[in-house]
Each structure stands twice: as structure tokens, then as C-alpha cells.
């Protein structure tokens, strides 16, 4: 890719990021709540509940412009890579990182791809449930969060509860519904010495679920 193309894509991503963040604030009045952590320019892995394609946009809108520029959401290649248009939107406009559940080579291994992004000094947004979930309860976490933490223990894992996004942008809809939303950022989570994978994932899931500001109702 030429230097001109690189500049063009950087400008496109910047304009898209600013535009979507402004739209997120206008439509949802999103209010970030820092409960146990603070805004920071340090490298992080944000992990969140996943109810809508708009989740990462809402979370990103709570970050500073500099942080948004180096924070990438992990997205499913099976959906976002289905067509040239979807891939263009995901990669070239939204700066997402596509991973496949049906990888066949080490170069396509989701952990390898995510580690390569982290090794460039960037941050990630991941959804450890592995799929969108519109129920009131979190699905069991997949092992990626544990594997990333074990491979890069110095990178903070920040739980983030995204409230109401399933009603702002329901599954199958493209036009957002104006509703107030909150994103609650919790205290960093880390693998304890000797802690097994299953125990860590259960604890991380509990930490995220505890951030739900209205656990008995989601409207």
C-alpha cells in the first residue's frame, strides 16, 4: 500500500471515529462511569458484554481521541468478512481486527492475531462471550481472555458493562433508537499466581456482571 493510501485510510478512520463518537453521544447521551479504574493512556484490553453491533462504538466513544486511535475492536470474520463492503467498513473505516472461528493456519490463529496488535502498542476491545447475547445473563467466557493475559501479563484487563445498547441498536436493525446509555468501567482484573483457566474466567465473568448498574432489569 502506498504512502498516499496509508494517509487516506488514516484520515478516513479518524473522520469515522470522530463522527461515530459524536453520533453515539447525540443518540445515547452515553455516560462513562469509572468504578475502580480511571481513564489512562496505558495499553489495555477492555472486555465487555456484547448485545449489539454498536457496543464497541459506544465503548470507544468513552475514550479520549488519542486512545480511540490506538484501540481496536475484535470482530468475527464470518460476519464482517462476508463481503467487500462489510470488510471495508470493519477494517478500513472502523479499524476493527477480524478473526475467524474456523482458522486453519497459525497465521490465522485468533490469539496470534490479537498478540500481534498488542505487540504494536495498541489496545483491544474484546467480547469474551464470543457472540452477541440479548439475554439478561452473561454466557460463559471463552478462553481468549485468559490466554491473552497469560501471554501479556503487564497489559491491564478492564471489565466494561455496556448498558442498554441492545435497545438502541437491536439485532437486525440499522437505525439507532435514542435511549440513554452508560458504560461502567471496573477495576483491572489479572490472573492470580497459580490460578487455573476455568477459575479465572469465572471470576472475570463475575467481575463484569457485578458492574451491571441495574441487575434486575435492563431497560
User: Helices (DSSP H) in the chain: which residue ranges?
Assistant: 3-28, 55-61, 65-69, 77-80, 84-87, 110-118, 144-151, 165-168, 197-209
Range name among 19-23, 124-128, 195-199 with the lowest pLDDT average: 19-23
Would you say residue 41 lies in a domain?
Answer: yes
In a domain, 165, yes or no: yes
Does some domain include residue 178?
yes
Domain count for the chain? 1
**115-119, 168-172, 188-192 — which is least confidently predicted?**
168-172
Expressed as residue numbers, the domain containing 201 is 3-209
Distance CA 80, CA 73 (A): 12
**Residue 122 contacts residue 46 (beta carbons within 8 Å):** no
- CB contact set of 134 (below 8 Å; sequence gap of 6+): 51, 166, 171
Encode pLDDT of 19-71 as tens digits.
877 877 787 778 899 999 999 999 999 999 998 877 888 899 999 988 998 99
Query: How high is the pLDDT of residue 214?
Result: 72
Any domain includes 217: no
**Is 90 a member of any domain?**
yes
Q: Is the pLDDT score of 144 beyond 60?
A: yes
In a domain, 214, yes or no: no
Q: Is residue 119 part of a domain?
A: yes
Residue 5 backbone dihedrals phi, psi, to 5 degrees: -65, -40
The predicted pLDDT at position 78 comes to 86
What's the pTM value of the predicted model, to 2 decimals?
0.86
CATH number at residue 8: 3.40.1130.10
Amino acid at each position: 500500500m502506498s504512502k498516499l493510501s496509508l494517509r487516506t485510510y488514516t484520515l478516513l478512520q479518524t473522520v469515522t471515529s470522530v463522527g461515530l463518537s459524536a453520533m453515539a453521544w447525540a443518540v445515547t447521551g452515553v455516560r462513562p462511569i469509572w468504578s475502580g479504574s480511571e481513564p489512562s493512556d496505558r495499553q489495555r484490553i477492555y472486555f465487555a458484554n456484547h448485545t449489539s453491533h454498536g457496543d464497541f462504538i459506544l465503548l470507544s466513544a468513552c475514550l479520549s481521541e488519542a486512545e480511540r486511535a490506538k484501540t481496536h475492536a475484535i470482530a468475527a470474520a464470518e460476519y464482517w468478512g462476508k463481503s467487500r463492503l462489510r470488510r471495508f467498513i470493519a477494517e478500513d473505516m472502523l479499524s476493527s481486527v477480524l478473526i475467524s472461528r474456523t482458522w486453519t493456519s497459525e497465521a490465522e490463529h485468533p490469539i496470534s492475531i490479537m498478540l500481534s496488535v498488542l505487540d504494536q502498542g495498541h489496545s483491544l476491545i474484546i467480547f469474551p462471550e464470543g457472540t452477541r447475547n440479548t439475554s439478561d445473563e452473561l454466557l460463559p467466557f471463552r478462553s481468549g481472555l485468559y490466554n491473552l493475559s497469560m501471554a501479556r501479563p503487564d497489559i491491564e484487563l478492564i471489565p466494561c458493562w455496556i448498558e442498554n445498547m441492545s435497545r438502541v441498536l437491536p439485532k437486525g436493525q440499522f437505525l439507532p433508537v435514542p435511549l440513554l446509555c452508560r458504560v461502567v468501567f471496573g477495576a483491572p482484573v489479572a490472573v492470580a499466581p497459580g490460578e487455573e483457566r476455568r477459575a479465572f474466567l469465572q471470576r472475570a465473568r463475575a467481575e463484569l456482571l457485578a458492574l451491571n448498574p441495574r441487575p434486575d432489569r435492563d431497560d
